[in-house]
Amino acid sequence: MTQDQYDRDNPTEQYPDPGQQDGGNVPHPGVTGQMNDEPDHGEYSYRGSGRLAGRRAVITGADSGIGRAVAIAFAREGADVLISYLPEEEKDAQETVRLVEEAGRTAVRVPGDIRDQQMCREIIERAVDELGGLDILVNNAAYQMAQPGGITDITDEQFDRVMKTNLYAMFWLCREAVPHLRPGSSIINTSSVQAFQSSAELMDYASTKAAIVAFTKALAQSLAHKGVRVNAVAPGPIWTPLIPATMPEEKVDSFGGDVPMGRAGQPAELAPAYVFFASQESSYITGETLGVTGGQPVT
């Protein structure tokens, strides 16, 4: 991306169509450097204004994609960040750490698989120990694998991985985090437009994303009296390494073309929603899901 591309006002033309050279060529879990068209995480465009000064945040899946964009934005808003990621994503995680530290904030790297309950416990413990506390938990890590054949092609192993990554880990992390969250803290869960406009080939993934919406509403009710808010962001088609790593080539080539804005979104376009929910600007909002979908409805 060149600097002049960030100055465009028309959101339908703000970014060129990605994905035309990447379909099916990037192995899971996907690494940014393997993509011919790397996403925009806000490296050049995001400008902070101290909205999260002094806060301590945990972000899962923060090595690349939406998680990296959120880490950059949080750091530039004044937050220190713990970055959770899979060990095979170490190179991407190091780049995210560099960007956080470049913003003058602390970055703690914690590689590991959040399908392991002990790993989730360690993430929260290290945040409290090494950042001095915890104010923001972003449950962003997720697993998907498109199966064009539908339910008969979804193996028990895949179903278990999707559920453990997308739901169990979120539950474990929230349960570990809640005792450390003071009034004014925020939990932000990443749902998806798939929770509302489900695709047959992503049946298991869509089911977890719908469950995240219900979980967010229930946890928000449970924690409101403590002054802890819980909200969700529902992305539409966002260009991240997960897309070419988990979708058939023909789907990647047309990715995002069917939304009203006519293009896929970029991670940088998601980050402001997470900053909003993490900051006191959303102090009277809890239990809500904000769609960032290029015009696809989330109802």
Residue 11 lies in a domain: no
Give me the pLDDT at residue 243, please. 65
Q: For residue range 183-194, what is the model confidence (pLDDT) as tens digits? A: 999 999 999 999
Which amino acid type is present at position 119? M
Task: Compute the chain's Rg from CA coordinates.
Answer: 18
Taking the model in full, what pTM does it have? 0.88
Give the CATH number of the domain where residue 131 resides.
3.40.50.720
47, 76 contact by CB (below 8 A): yes
Written as six digits, the tokens of 150 are 């539908």
Chain Cα centroid distance, residue 52: 18
Nearest CA to 166 out of 142, 185, 199, 190 is that of: 142
pLDDT score of 46? 94
Range of the domain at 258: 51-292
Give the DSSP H or E segment for 71. helix 65-76
**Residue 14: inside a domain:** no
In the chain, which stretches have pLDDT less than 50? 20-21, 23-24
Domain count, the chain: 1
In a domain, 46, yes or no: no
Residue 26 lies in a domain: no
Residue 163 lies in a domain: yes
User: Can you give the pLDDT at residue 216?
Assistant: 98
Distance, in Å, from the CA atom of 52 to the CA atom of 277, rounded to the nearest integer, reads: 11
**Assigned domain for 219 exists:** yes
How many other β-carbons are positioned within 10 Å of the β-carbon of residue 101? 13
CA 114 to chain centre: 14
* Percent of the chain's residues with pLDDT above 70: 85
- Residue 20's pLDDT is 47
What is the structure's pLDDT at 3? 54
- Domain assignment present for 240: yes
- Evaluate whether residue 7 is within a structural domain: no
Summarised one tens digit per residue, pLDDT across range 47-71 is 999 999 999 999 999 999 999 999 9
Residues near 83 by Cβ (< 8 Å), separated by ≥ 6?
59, 62, 63, 67, 71, 93, 96, 97, 100, 107, 108, 109, 110
Any idea which residues carry the catalytic annotation?
Answer: 205
